[in-house]
């Protein structure tokens, strides 16, 4: 029997998953670990969004849509990008995707050729490596400076070369929760433009900023035509299971990306697209309440970590993550395992986000205040 291709074998499973599986095992054994390893809201999708999907199903919206998505949803995304992030794209420069994940996958396929480089400032979300490998491209880790790991344009620009085809920028960041400085962003986009490369702006957490207003990378840049914006309903609307995201940018790239999905997912699920339309155009109250809940948790977690002995962590400014640097020489995975075994609290190993995350741990605060309090007590006691 032929074996899987080298391209597929080169892709790793995420180390977050290792802790996820161990935590599941602990639960099956009757324990009650505080699970702070997963990056998804514990809150449920707002009711009006669910109703919109049900109405769509009852109304017979059970067929394919065009590859680019429902025209009214593309228009709503273009409006939201402009109103909320200052990013100007026409509806025909927007393709609705099956989550932000597909948008990133398409963006990498459309912009990074075989053997070319995708630069990844780290620590960063592990899927970018896989997406580069699936494009037969080379993922290149560019470590950002500890202890904050904020975007440092000089490091990225220094690493750019003739083979660099794209740079991925994630702000607010998974896993650090930090928001990139606009001057640093501008410098990266300018340099990308000089190299005839793209910036893939991963803004799936874009709406979740706590100390500043949301701002799109394309709106900060002098060369917005070199930016492809990725967004999603998953995080801010608590819609991870619906699988709706988008890719927005120069029409020629977006058209090419749209062509590819004729052979992959074809379109995002139709009823989910109707749900996304309701999320983007419907009442703000439920979304604002979720945002407030995240902000309250952020404040709580940031204060607790600032007072905790044995751990330092840059203050999270967005998303729902804190990146912990425990004062120990233990490697991330053994430490995460020890926290589960001895402390009954589950965190993601930091080295799953690149070499820059060695020895660190990611904490997700997409959990209730009660569970966060218990989890932080357990971390404090164990570390
Ligand atoms: C940094 C980052 N980008 C993109 C995604 C994709 O999210 P989705 O496909 O649910 O929109 C995630 C999901 O966890 C993420 O953390």
Q: Mark whether 273 and 174 lie in a shared domain.
A: yes
Provide the mean pLDDT of the chain: 96
End-to-end CA distance of the chain: 48
pLDDT digits (tens, 9 = 90+) for 157-168: 999 999 999 999
pLDDT at 323 over 90: yes
Residue 81 pLDDT grade (very low, low, confident, very high; cuts 50, 70, 90) = very high
Q: What is the CATH number of the domain that holds 329?
A: 3.90.1150.10
> How many angstroms separate the alpha carbon of residue 380 from the centre of ligand 1?
29
The Å distance, Cα 119 to ligand 1 centre, comes to 18
- Domain assignment present for residue 1? The answer is no
Both 179 and 303 in one domain: the answer is no
Kindly give the distance from the C-alpha atom of residue 366 to the centroid of ligand 1, in angstroms, as a whole number.
Answer: 14
Is 330 found in the same domain as 236? no
In this structure, of 41-45, 98-102, 310-314, 315-319, the range with the lowest mean pLDDT score is 41-45
- Strand stretches in the chain, DSSP E: 34-35, 94-97, 117-122, 138-143, 164-170, 198-202, 227-232, 245-248, 311-312, 321-326, 345-346, 348-349, 361-364
From 104, 232, 272, give the residue whose CB has the most ligand 1 atoms within 8 Å, as the site to mutate: 232
- From the alpha carbon of 240, which atom of ligand 1 is closest? 10
Instruction: Output the six-digit token pair for 357.
Output: 């995350």
Residues 91 and 153 in one domain: yes
Residues 268-297 pLDDT 10s: 999 999 999 999 999 999 999 999 999 999
98 alpha carbon – ligand 1 mean position (Å): 11
Instruction: Out of 214, 247, 281, pick the residue that ends a domain.
Output: 281
Q: Is residue 167 part of a domain?
A: yes
Q: Are residues 240 and 218 in the same domain?
A: yes
Same domain assignment for residues 233 and 333: no
Establish whether residue 101 lines the binding site of ligand 1, counting it when its CB lies within 6 angstroms of any ligand atom. Answer: yes
CB 159 within 8 A of CB 151: no
Of ligand 1's listed atoms, the one at least distance from the Cα of 124 is 1
Domain identity same for 276 and 355: no
Q: List, for residues 110-120, the tens digit of each pLDDT value.
A: 999 999 999 99
Tell me what pLDDT residue 16 has. 83
Compute the average pLDDT of residues 90-108. 98
Q: Is the CB of 171 inside a 6 Å radius of any atom of ligand 1?
A: no
> Into how many domains does the chain fold?
2
Please give the distance, rounded to the nearest whole angstrom, from the Cα atom of residue 237 to the centre of ligand 1.
13
Tokens coding 146: 């500890």
Tell me whether residue 38 is in a domain.
yes
Q: What is the biggest distance separating any 2 CA atoms in the chain, rounded to whole angstroms?
A: 59
Which of 101, 178, 231 to mutate to test ligand 1, by most ligand atoms within 8 A of the CB atom? 101
Ligand 1 pocket: which of 234, 236, 352 to mutate (most atoms within 8 A of CB): 234
**Beta-carbon neighbour count of residue 129 at 10 Å?**
21
3-state secondary structure 4-30: CCHHHHCCCCCHHHHHHHHHHHHHHCC
Residue 90 has pLDDT above 80, yes or no: yes
187 and 83, same structural domain?
A: yes
Evaluate if residue 1 carries a pLDDT over 80.
Answer: no
Residues 66, 143 within the same domain: yes
Q: Which of 281, 303, 320 is the last residue of a domain?
A: 281
Question: What pLDDT is recorded for position 2?
Answer: 78
- Residue 123 belongs to some domain of the structure: yes
Judge whether 174 lies within some domain: yes
Distance 241 CA to ligand 1 centre (A): 12
Q: What is the pLDDT of residues 20-36, one digit of tens each?
A: 999 999 999 999 999 99
Mutational pocket test of ligand 1: of 130, 131, 235, the residue with most ligand atoms within 8 Å of the beta carbon? 235
Specify whether 291 is located in the same domain as 276: no
CATH of the domain at 121: 3.40.640.10
Residue 119's Cβ-side half-sphere holds a number of Cα atoms within 13 Å equal to: 30
> Is 77 in the same domain as 225?
yes
Tokens of 331: 């490697």
Domain end marker among 265, 281, 297: 281
CA distance 152 to 361: 21
Handedness of CA 46, 264, 96, 174 (dihedral sign): positive
**Predicted pLDDT of residue 113:** 97
| 269 shares its domain with 324 | no
Give me ligand 1 centre to Cα 125, in Å: 8
Ligand 1 centroid distance, CA of 101 (Å): 6
Domain that holds residue 14: 6-44+285-382
> Would you state the pLDDT for residue 242?
98
Task: State how far the Cα of 221 lies from the Cα of 169, in Å rounded to an integer.
Answer: 13
318 lines ligand 1 (CB under 6 A): no
């Amino acid at each position: 029997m032929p074996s899987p291709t080298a391209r597929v074998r080169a892709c790793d499973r995420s180390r977050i998953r290792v802790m996820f599986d161990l935590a599941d095992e602990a639960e099956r054994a009757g324990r009650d670990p505080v699970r702070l390893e997963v990056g998804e809201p514990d809150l449920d999708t707002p009711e009006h969004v669910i109703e919109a999907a049900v109405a769509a199903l009852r109304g017979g919206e059970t067929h394919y849509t065009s590859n680019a998505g429902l025209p009214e949803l593309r228009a709503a995304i273009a409006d939201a990008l402009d109103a909320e992030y200052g990013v100007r794209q026409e509806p025909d420069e927007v393709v609705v995707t099956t989550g932000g994940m597909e948008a990133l996958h398409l963006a990498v396929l459309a912009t990074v050729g075989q053997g070319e480089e995708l630069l990844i400032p780290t620590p960063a979300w592990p899927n970018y490596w896989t997406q580069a490998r699936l494009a037969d491209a080379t993922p290149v880790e560019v470590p950002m400076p500890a202890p904050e790991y904020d975007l440092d344009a000089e490091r990225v620009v220094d690493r750019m070369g003739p083979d660099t085809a794209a740079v991925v920028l994630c702000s607010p960041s998974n896993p650090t929760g930090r928001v990139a400085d606009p001057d640093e962003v501008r410098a990266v986009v300018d340099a990308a433009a000089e190299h005839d490369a793209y910036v893939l702006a991963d803004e799936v957490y874009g709406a979740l900023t706590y100390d500043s207003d949301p701002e799109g990378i394309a709106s900060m840049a002098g060369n917005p035509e070199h930016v492809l914006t990725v967004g999603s309903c998953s995080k801010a609307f608590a819609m991870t299971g619906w699988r709706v995201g988008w890719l927005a940018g120069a029409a020629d790239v977006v058209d090419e990306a749209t062509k590819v999905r004729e052979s992959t997912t074809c379109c995002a699920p139709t009823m989910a697209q109707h749900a996304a339309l309701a999320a983007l155009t419907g009442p703000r109250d439920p979304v604002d309440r979720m945002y407030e809940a995240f902000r309250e948790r952020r404040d709580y977690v940031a204060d607790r970590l600032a007072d905790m002995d044995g751990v330092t962590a840059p203050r999270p400014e967005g998303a729902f993550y804190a990146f912990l640097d425990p004062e120990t020489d233990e490697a991330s995975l053994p430490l995460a395992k020890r926290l589960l075994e001895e402390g009954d609290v589950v965190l993601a190993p930091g080295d799953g986000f690149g070499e820059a995350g060695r020895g660190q741990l990611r904490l997700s605060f997409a959990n209730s205040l009660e569970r966060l309090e218990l989890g932080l007590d357990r971390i404090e006691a164990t570390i």
